Amino acid sequence: MTAGRLYIETLGCQMNMLDSELVEGQLRRLGYETTADMQAADVVLINTCSVRDHAEQKALSHLGALKKRKAKHPDTIVGVIGCMAERDPDGIVSKMPHVDLICGPGELNKVPAMIEEIREHRTRAVALSQSLSRRSTPLQRALEYDSVEALDLSRDPAPGAVLQAYIRVQRGCDKFCTFCVVPFTRGAERSRPASSIVEEAKKLADRGCKEVTLVGQTVNSYVHQEDGRPVRFADLLERVNDVSGLERVRFVTSYPGDFTDDVLDAMRELPKVCEYLHLPAQSGSDAVLKRMRRMNTVPQYVELVERAREKVPGITLASDFIVGFCGETEEEFEDTVRLVERCRFKNLFVFKYSPRPGTVADKRLEDDVPEAVKRERNMRLLKLQERLSFEDNQKLIGRSFEVLVEGYSKAAIKAQESEQDRGCEVDRGCEADRGVGAGAAVKADTHGHAPPARRPREIDLMAIGASSHRSFADAVAGADLRTRVIPETPGDDEPHPPHARPARDWRRANQLVGRTRTDRIVVFSGAPNLIGALVNVRVHAATALTLHGEVVG
């Protein structure tokens, strides 16, 4: 008998995706089974984001959809975890009184106990970190007990279940950019012990993980005391690079004002550290950066970009920009356009400014840029980046790249699903009678896996996408931050079951997707046994987003 059915919906950043994975792992070990159906779950947790108003409205929409289920099944536990829970617990209760559990990101190790408390006492449970002190330094704080560390140490992935994984190296932020709510929701900056991070990397590698991404709000600010000396981020990269079994190491997100050359040296010298740097600029105007309270000027940012390209051959860079920030004039926006043109990023993540309650910008600055202007500037910047990406990707045609194969492409998944549907129409009731046919792509998410007819190869596609909070590989693969379970397909010498006929377009149905070391997305035809492998792919065509190629060698 199980403890119940669990559904977790994750909104927002890569830190939230990691938090959801860890909370789910804790509850699964207590006997919970995950389900992909929110309306069928006994426990529903919405892991929320407060960076933009849109993310909070989406969370409220999910919660609103649970009102009828809660009224019909009052024993269902509805919980809000993450940044919105920390930022506005009273507002959540006011708007959604059927919510039972409210837990901030710094208290997630308490979720299992909170669920039991709700069941036993029929009362709402709340756990927040609003009293966390900032009086000590980040180095001093790193030595204090951290409840999130207890959550990270609980990680216990199944062998072969994870190809790529996040490792939290730091949480919180002390920068207090005027537009950002993160310092209020995730608390003071605090780094984990290097030994704990390395042990987690070893555990993941031992269970088949090929690529880890070190995550932190300002990851290059990492520092932790060890044997009387500070271990800094470049030191940490070296230690993770030495973990046997790992093939690649990435990190996000970097803060330009703190970026030091020793990290660039590590990127150049350490063979597993990928040549990709996510470096949010936010604006190309010094006046706007000053209003944002960013700790660098545009010339300093450009100098860092040029230094990175000089020190790390072949490096690619991505960046974040906010358009329509308080008081942004047309000329100030044009400064941003000029910066994008000059730096030629691999990709951009562009956001329209929305005021966040409690931030300095919300309290002291006027949100005076019309929504239509924000929308127009957003589109202009994206169109510019699309042109630049297309031009740069065309120069890669004919070259070969090492690609880590992550899974099936979006086109392949659609083709396989179409074949499955066609087979079921011919052989009515096949799925109900026999389970899902071999060769079909079965959708599942982080909440639960549909049962395949054959033993599946499970690939975690929640790879890093910088501050877009999803990877481009996910976008290409259509994963929508979800795990896909891909059943093994019959070999050429094996007969196909009648309800799993070969796809009409073999190439489309067998199209795989992966990423280069520089985070470029590559699609190509290949056998399913390549998933999880490193292969060389020669590029023969390119769009702004994707390289198309064929396996060579």
- Cα distance between residue 491 and residue 1, in whole Å: 38
- CATH of residue 374: 3.30.750.200
Which three-class secondary structure string do you get for 173-238?
CCCCCCCCCHHHHCCCCEECCHHHHHHHHHHHHHCCCCEEEEECCCHHHCEEEECCEEEEHHHHHH
Q: Are both 168 and 211 inside the same structural domain?
A: yes
Return the bridge partners of 141, or none: none
> What are the residue ranges in the chain where pLDDT is below 70?
1, 130-148, 150, 418-508
Domain-located, residue 326: yes
Which of 127, 142, 170 is at the close of a domain?
127
Domain-located, residue 102: yes
Q: Are both 40 and 158 inside the same structural domain?
A: no
- Among positive and negative, which fits the CA dihedral 524, 525, 526, 527? positive
Exposed (0-12), middle (13-18) or buried (19+): which is 404, by Cβ within 10 Å? buried
Segment 100-103 long-range contacts (CB within 8 Å, at least 24 positions apart): 100/124, 100/125, 101/45, 101/77, 101/125, 101/126, 102/126, 102/127, 102/128, 103/79, 103/127, 103/128
Residue 481 belongs to what domain range?
Answer: 400-552
How far, in whole angstroms, is CA 142 from its chain's centroid?
A: 24
Number of Cβ atoms within 10 Å of the Cβ of 383: 10
CA distances from 68 to 5, 72, 78, 98 (A): 18, 6, 12, 10
Q: Note the pLDDT of residue 475.
A: 36
Domain-located, residue 297: no
Q: Are both 258 and 142 inside the same structural domain?
A: yes
**3-class secondary-structure state, position 443:** strand
How many domains are contained in the chain?
4
Do 146 and 187 form a contact (C-beta atoms < 8 A)? Answer: no
Q: Are both 503 and 479 inside the same structural domain?
A: yes
Do 309 and 315 form a contact (C-beta atoms < 8 A)? Answer: yes
Q: Are both 354 and 470 inside the same structural domain?
A: no
Q: For tokens 């976008």, name the residue.
A: 475
Domain-located, residue 140: yes
User: pTM for this structure?
Assistant: 0.79
Q: Are both 211 and 349 inside the same structural domain?
A: no
- How many Å is the maximal CA-CA distance in the chain? 71
Q: Are both 216 and 72 inside the same structural domain?
A: no
Q: Are both 23 and 122 inside the same structural domain?
A: yes
**Beta strand 248-252 with 211-215: parallel, antiparallel or unpaired?**
parallel
Q: Are both 51 and 181 inside the same structural domain?
A: no
Residue whose C-alpha is closest to residue 455's, from 477, 478, 436: 436
Q: What is the pLDDT of residues 94-143, one digit of tens each?
A: 999 999 999 999 899 999 999 999 999 999 999 998 645 445 555 554 44
Q: Note the pLDDT of residue 146.
A: 55
φ, ψ (nearest 5 deg) of residue 548? -115, 135
DSSP character for 363?
A: H
**Beta-carbon contacts of residue 25 (< 8 Å; ≥ 6 apart):** 154, 155, 156, 157
Domain-located, residue 286: no
Q: Are both 356 and 417 inside the same structural domain?
A: no
Which of 127, 148, 171 is at the close of a domain?
127
**Beta-carbon contacts of residue 395 (< 8 Å; ≥ 6 apart):** none
Q: Note the pLDDT of residue 136.
A: 54
Return the bridge partners of 32, or none: 4
CA distances from 512 to 34, 138, 409, 427, 428 (A): 27, 43, 5, 28, 30
Which of 390, 409, 441 is at the close of a domain?
390
Amino acid at 512: L
Q: Where are the beta strands (DSSP E) in 271-372?
A: 276-278, 316-323, 347-352
Q: Are both 309 and 228 inside the same structural domain?
A: no
Q: Which two tokens stand for residue 504?
A: 């009409």
The half-sphere exposure of 346 on its side-chain side, counting CA atoms within 13 A, is 24
**Beta strand 248-252 with 229-232: parallel, antiparallel or unpaired?**
unpaired
**Beta strand 456-459 with 442-443: parallel, antiparallel or unpaired?**
unpaired
Q: Note the pLDDT of residue 410.
A: 84
Q: Note the pLDDT of residue 422.
A: 58
Q: Are both 457 and 326 inside the same structural domain?
A: no
Q: Note the pLDDT of residue 162.
A: 87
The half-sphere exposure of 336 on its side-chain side, counting CA atoms within 13 A, is 28
Amino acid at 274: C
DSSP character for 276?
A: E
Q: Note the pLDDT of residue 413.
A: 80
For residue 89, what is the enclosing H or E element? helix 89-95
- Cα distance between residue 404 and residue 532, in whole Å: 7
Per-residue burial over 476-498, b if 16 or more Cβ lie within 10 Å, else e, is bbbbebbbbbbbebeeeeeeebe
- CATH of residue 262: 3.30.750.210
- Cα distance between residue 436 and residue 416, in whole Å: 12
Do 483 and 458 form a contact (C-beta atoms < 8 A)? Answer: yes
Domain-located, residue 295: no
Exposed (0-12), middle (13-18) or buried (19+): which is 437, by Cβ within 10 Å? buried
Do 241 and 271 form a contact (C-beta atoms < 8 A)? Answer: yes
- Cα distance between residue 158 and residue 475, in whole Å: 25
Amino acid at 217: Q
Domain-located, residue 118: yes
Domain-located, residue 287: no
Residue whose C-alpha is closest to residue 402's, from 238, 247, 207: 247
Q: Note the pLDDT of residue 243.
A: 99
